[in-house]
Structure 1
Amino acid sequence: MGGAADARWEFTAIGTSWEILTPRPLTVDARRAVTALIDDFDRTWSRFRDDSVVRSLATRGGAVPVPPDAAAMLGAYADLSDATAGAINPLIGDALALRGYDPGYGFLDAGARPAPSRWREQLHWDDAHLRLSEPATIDVGAIGKGRLVDVVIAEVERWVALEAEGRMPGRIVVDASGDLAVRGGAHDPPERIGLEHPYDARRAIGVWDVSDAALCASATNRRSWGDGLHHVLDARTGEPVRTIAATWAVAPRALTADAIASALFFDGGPALAHAWGVAWVRMTTDGRVEWSPNCKAELFS
């Protein structure tokens, strides 16, 4: 990814690998600012951290000052829930933990449990507060990393422009292991992204050229354990999805692309992608590849 002249910063955060490419190296202050943003997001939304806001609400319920990302993410969850007839639900956290994807990474399956189907009556947010009327575990895995990529690339853009006295001297790429955003570099060739085969990491099913947009991917092999268990559950049943193996979506913002990549595991996902103008590809578990009419990926036979 990126050209020889790019400055590359690689690090690990929120349990995944990050790579940030900028026209010139980021300053120490810029890196500290980016690191602080990621940590603030994680301290709010991670269900794996004992000190997070999500874990506090899961234990006691009640109200907390509304986090800055709540409206954007939970509003998107409402759209996802409507489009997929409830298959996506922000209160899926307890169902994931029961199947083994718990804060201690126990990976021991204790059985299926649906997420609360009337989650809108339990989870509320406004300009002041985020509330849970009773304890439950919020999980923002369907869109959270995409949202964070948007936040990070905006912060990187700010520091790059500051150093360049208001100019944007080249391309910026933020890649959080499957969720990627590209900004600037109008005269640079597009970033050429391989679409990794979900059953063979050495192969790609195609490539997608990305400029001034975000590409987000999701696959059932990425976080899987036990006998057919993985992180993509149908909130209505607590069971892992069985028909879709991997999804990719391209949109102007990573939150949008991430949301559609999640929705494409379920009926209703393609219709929502069409309504939002998002291009997509998905691969079924029997090896078929489907794509949207506006998809510009080069898919291999």
Structure 2
Amino acid sequence: MMRHPLAVHRHRLRAMGTSVELIAGASEDERTFALAAERVEGVFAREERRCSRFRDDSEISIVNLRAGRPTPISPGLAEVVAFALDAAARTGGRFDPTVLDAVVGAGYDRDFDEVLAGARAALRPARPCGRWRDVRLEDGAVLLPEDVGLDLGGVAKGWAVDLAAAEAVGAGLTWVVVNAGGDLRLAGRPPSPGIDVGIDDPESPDTEMFQLSLSHGALATSSITRRAWGPDLHHLIDPSTGAPTSNGVLQATVWAPTCAEAEILAKDALLLGEDSLDRTLGVLVLTDGRVLTNLADRTEAAA
């Protein structure tokens, strides 16, 4: 997703089910960059232990297993859950952290590589979600209704990107990009006028269809083609139906001050469609081939 002519340092890792990359200017001291890379790896390892539903020992897996009973959680996980519940309220439930049952019912019941290999349970009929209103978070514990599970998914990834970017700058780097599967955060003081970022064609990932210059903030993309395993089978659930969304939007890419917020707005834009551009800076790719945006080509993405 990131395209630029700058000479840079790069550090790559695999975390939270995706490829992660730390990028900084080539003029940075190598020891400082190595320290930043170590901190970034530590952030992603910690957040994966907290938020991955694919790890039986993660905090979120334990919370889901104990649905119906209060479960003490770490302050870090409590922050993510509180953010997700607030986002559900702000979007009228279009973003819904209680879609776990629907995601599993659609076939995304384990790590995506295994889903593609065919190792998934039988599909279940869709049913509406919306139980986020019944989740209780207080006194350092979370209480889920019985038969309800949390899937923090992309928002947890965005949260980790933001924390990692802050840690990398805190290690002494002038500017950094942390990119996790195409969702990225630019932090620090980048070279003027910014970093060129390309948005890929959802139906041809190696083809760049739009480019902009990012001077600060974050970009996130939600696409029904990224994690798909069959006709109309993908991980982006419409909470109003409990089924994978199918509303004429292939992909939504949005800008926000933080990657966690961009993750929320990208999912909201994917479900809301064209009307989302009245409230969000972004690019929509529609199934009829149209590309809609309120960003000028190669313009600065900024509030």
Name the TM-score class by shorter chain.
Answer: 0.7 to 0.9
Distance in 2 of aligned mates of 1:261 and 1:111: 26
Q: Secondary structure at the match of 1:37?
A: helix
CA contact (8 A) 1:60 1:135 kept: no
For residues 133-152 of structure 1, the aligned pairs below 5 Å read 133-152=145-164
Q: Which residue of 2 aligns with 1:70?
A: 78
CA contact (8 A) 2:95 2:239 kept: yes
Matched, 1:250 2:255: yes
For residues 169-184 of structure 1, the aligned pairs below 5 Å read 170-184=174-188
CA contact (8 A) 2:106 2:244 kept: no
For residues 119-130 of structure 1, the aligned pairs below 5 Å read 119-121=132-134, 123-126=135-138, 128-130=140-142
Q: Post-superposition shift, 1:28?
A: 5.0
Q: Post-superposition shift, 1:20?
A: 0.6
Consecutive unaligned residues of structure 1, counting only runs of 5 or more, are: 161-167
Q: Post-superposition shift, 1:52?
A: 1.0
Q: Secondary structure at the match of 1:143?
A: helix
Q: Post-superposition shift, 1:9?
A: 0.7
Q: Which residue of 1 aligns with 2:105?
A: 98
For residues 4-43 of structure 1, the aligned pairs below 5 Å read 5-23=7-25, 24=28, 25=30, 26=32, 28-43=34-49
Q: Which residue of 2 aligns with 1:163?
A: none
Deviates more, 1:194-203 or 1:123-132: 123-132
What residue identity is the alignment partner of 1:250? W
CA contact (8 A) 2:196 2:212 kept: yes
Matched, 1:113 2:126: yes
Matched, 1:264 2:272: no
Q: Post-superposition shift, 1:31?
A: 3.4
TM-score, reference length from structure 2: 0.83
Consecutive unaligned residues of structure 2, counting only runs of 5 or more, are: none
Q: Secondary structure at the match of 1:218?
A: strand
Q: 1:76 to 1:94 in 2, by over 3 A?
A: closer
What residue identity is the alignment partner of 2:229? W
Distance in 2 of aligned mates of 1:15 and 1:271: 28
For residues 228-239 of structure 1, the aligned pairs below 5 Å read 228-239=232-243
What residue identity is the alignment partner of 1:212? H
Number of aligned residues: 284
User: Out of 287, 290, 298, which is 1:288 matched to?
Assistant: 290
For residues 166-245 of structure 1, the aligned pairs below 5 Å read 170-242=174-246, 243-245=248-250
TM-score, reference length from structure 1: 0.84
What residue identity is the alignment partner of 1:263? D
Matched, 1:154 2:178: no
> Percent identical across equivalent pairs?
28
Q: Post-superposition shift, 1:261?
A: 0.7
What residue identity is the alignment partner of 2:194? P
